[in-house]
Amino acid sequence: MDNQLLKDAFERTRIVGAAVSDYPLTPDMSELDHHVVGIRNALADCGLSLRDVDGLIIASGGFGGLNPMGLAEYLGLRPTFVDGLSVGGSSFVYHAARAALAVGTGLCEVAVVAMGQTGKSGGRGMRGFGGGGPPPQGFGSFFWDSLAGVPLIGAYALAARRHMYEFGTTSEDLAEIAVAARYHASMNPKAQYRDPITVDDVLNSRWVAEPLHLLDCCVVSDGGGAYVVTTADRAKDLRKPAVQMLGYGERVGHAGIGQMPDFTQTAAADTGKVAFEMAGLKPGDIECGELYDSFTITVMLLLEDLGFCEKGEGGAFVREHLRVGGPLPINTDGGGLSAVHPGMRGMFLMTEAVRQIRGEGAPLAVAKEGGVDTCLVHGVGGQLSSHATLIVGKDG
């Protein structure tokens, strides 16, 4: 695949600022508040102001909801580039490539990607998560799967069951992923749950959708954040060390779980391959991972599909890795499993990746003193449906 245009765009652009708005429980903040605060915090992080912004990207809720046109107007912006791509929780990783292309081709000079959701306090944006409108609903497989009463967690449970059947993966293996996330959350003062847990705690938590227990599932939070992409030249004069994008791949594999071609292999197998090739790196070169952890099985599939271990060997892999100090620390804020998951977690993958490249933010887990040289971000949206892999590194 010739992705020279994207390579050129990555060469010419940098992620220069990133910040969260707040999390995990913000009863006094709206989704708009999270967007505005996140944008202001991310701009302050790099020393830019709203007046510098000429590109705006959010996951659009359509004209009835928060959308890039409306938010731009609200902030007093007249952007020369907007995008509203919304493909679920992975959206904000997809947005990074779009921001780089927009800045790299001169459509705009300072692009801000923002996100905010009140999944806990607002009671919105979590449809199909055990709540929501009357069934059946949705387009395509979302409608057809709804006829069988499959909630979001059930969709991931279908994949988990098949993985267990094909590879002998156990509930204990999956639990290791939740335990590692909680370990990192214990160092994060903002994390929604911080008390350390054991494999037995996961196994003894109630079933939600077999074989997934309650502690195999992400938390339900409020939260938001933003990051800023500008030119490599402009990045030199800004407050904090810039982050360079090195490799990227995206793929939508299906929409609803019923149409997933292979229940034990996601489109991450394709996006990872493309991203690694573009970056000229291999899985062993990655020092830190921010891997979408909607459920423990999500991480298991990603570790295998991205090539960190062979297909079917995720169970053995997770017992020896994943924590700071180990070979591949992942989800260093405590992840969606313990720290924050407002419905679409992808923004926090991006803010964490920037934090780990810079090596800042203690007492939160820091994967390497002085910052890691490479971090792999992987977003998953829908029901293992939309995938985006972004590999980032230190500037230069």
Residues at the contact surface with other proteins, assessed by CB under 8 A: 128-132, 134-137, 139-141, 143-151, 153-154, 157-162, 165, 206-212, 256-259, 263
Q: Which residue number, 43 or 212, has a Cβ lying nearer to other proteins?
A: 212
Element (H, E) at 382: none
Least distance in Å: CB of 336 to other proteins? 18
Least distance in Å: CB of 287 to other proteins? 35
Bridge partner list, 20 = 225
Q: Find where tokens 């204990």 sit.
A: 172
Q: Which residue number, 49 or 137, has a Cβ lying nearer to other proteins?
A: 137
Least distance in Å: CB of 153 to other proteins? 7
Instruction: Give the integer Cα–Cα distance in Å for 250 and 240.
Output: 28
Instruction: Give the integer Cα–Cα distance in Å for 145 and 137.
Output: 9
Q: Which residue number, 148 or 316, has a Cβ lying nearer to other proteins?
A: 148
At 110, the amino acid letter reads V
Least distance in Å: CB of 311 to other proteins? 16
What the block records as the tokens of 313 is 């060997």
Least distance in Å: CB of 213 to other proteins? 10
Least distance in Å: CB of 205 to other proteins? 11
Least distance in Å: CB of 173 to other proteins? 17
Q: Which residue number, 153 or 324, has a Cβ lying nearer to other proteins?
A: 153
Q: Which residue number, 119 or 329, has a Cβ lying nearer to other proteins?
A: 119
Instruction: Give the integer Cα–Cα distance in Å for 32 and 122.
Output: 12
What the block records as the tokens of 183 is 């370990």
| Count of CB atoms situated within 10 Å of the CB of 336 | 31
At 352, the amino acid letter reads E
Bridge partner list, 288 = 375
Instruction: Give the integer Cα–Cα distance in Å for 157 and 168.
Output: 15
For residue 241, give Cα distances in angstroms to 45, 250, 287, 393: 10, 26, 18, 11
Q: Which residue number, 144 or 193, has a Cβ lying nearer to other proteins?
A: 144
Query: How does DSSP classify residue 322?
Result: B
What is the b/e burial string over 226-264, where b = at least 16 CB atoms within 10 angstroms of the residue's CB?
bbbbbbbebbeebeebbbbbbbbbbbbbbbbbbebeebb
Least distance in Å: CB of 299 to other proteins? 18
Q: Which residue number, 69 or 147, has a Cβ lying nearer to other proteins?
A: 147
Nearest Cα residue to 334 out of 316, 355, 320, 314 = 355
Q: Which residue number, 151 or 241, has a Cβ lying nearer to other proteins?
A: 151
